[in-house]
């Protein structure tokens, strides 16, 4: 009987399908008080393009799509008081290129590293305002989830959330040279 239970447990573990990252788990929840640190950015950012993401193949590994990244980024910028209320306006355009998610093939603790370029340009002239490559990591432990593909999804979500958080922090701390 115990061999049968072990067999069922192992079969369940091996048959798990990869699921895509969830937007709500990639969203930075901070409040609008963050925009007070740099008032010129309050409600001023319009997301222009997101590239480099990948859709999840259920038979392979969890990934982060461009659309899901965009949704999480928009919600995070909105929570920080930085997103333009109207997508057709905004003093600054934001382009993000996801350079990749470095993922482990297997393991108990899974660490995913997100590499992304964030470029902010002035809407009027297209002049660069802010450009930075952000690299962040997040580790999902066995305590996060017993099933490996779910730990990988959790690590993906955490790495992207930390990337967005780091971008917002760096942008808020950025002081452009005079004349910008």
pLDDT tens digits along 108-152: 788 999 999 999 999 999 999 999 999 999 998 766 655 657 888
Does residue 62 fall inside a structural domain?
A: yes
Give residue-wise pLDDT tens across range 56-109.
655 557 678 999 999 999 999 999 999 999 877 889 999 999 999 877 766 678
3-state helix, strand, coil in the chain (%, to 5): 35, 25, 40
Q: What is the pTM of this model?
A: 0.81
Does residue 6 fall inside a structural domain?
A: no
How many domains does the chain contain in total?
Answer: 1
How far is residue 73's CA from residue 50's CA, in Å, rounded to a whole number? Answer: 10
In this model, does residue 176 exceed pLDDT 90?
no
Does residue 140 fall inside a structural domain?
A: yes
Residue numbers of the domain that contains 75: 30-173
Does residue 11 fall inside a structural domain?
A: no
How many CA atoms are closer than 13 Å to the CA of 31, on its beta-carbon side?
Answer: 1
How far is residue 22's CA from residue 153's CA, in Å, rounded to a whole number? Answer: 8
* Mean pLDDT, rounded, for 9-23: 58
**Residue 114 is part of a domain; what is its CATH number?**
3.30.160.150
How far is residue 104's CA from residue 28's CA, in Å, rounded to a whole number? Answer: 24
Does residue 107 fall inside a structural domain?
A: yes
Does residue 3 fall inside a structural domain?
A: no
In this model, does residue 6 exceed pLDDT 70?
no
> Cα–Cα distances in Å, from 34 out to 41, 53, 60, 89, 118?
10, 27, 38, 21, 18
């Amino acid at each position: 009987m115990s061999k049968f239970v072990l067999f069922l447990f192992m079969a369940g573990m091996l048959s798990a399908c990869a699921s895509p990252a969830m937007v709500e788990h990639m969203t930075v929840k901070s409040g609008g008080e963050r925009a007070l640190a740099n008032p010129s950015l309050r409600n001023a950012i319009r997301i222009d393009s997101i590239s480099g993401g990948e859709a999840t193949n259920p038979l392979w590994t969890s990934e982060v799509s461009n659309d899901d990244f965009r949704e999480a980024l928009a919600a995070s910028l909105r929570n920080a008081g930085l997103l333009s209320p109207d997508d057709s306006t905004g003093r600054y355009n934001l382009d993000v290129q996801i350079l990749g998610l470095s993922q482990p093939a297997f393991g108990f603790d899974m660490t995913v590293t997100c590499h992304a370029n964030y470029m902010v340009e002035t809407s009027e002239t297209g002049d660069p305002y802010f450009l930075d490559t952000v690299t962040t990591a997040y580790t999902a432990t066995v305590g996060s989830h017993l099933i490996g593909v779910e730990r990988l999804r959790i690590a993906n979500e955490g790495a992207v959330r930390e990337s967005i958080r780091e971008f917002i922090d760096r942008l808020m701390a950025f002081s452009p040279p005079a004349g910008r």
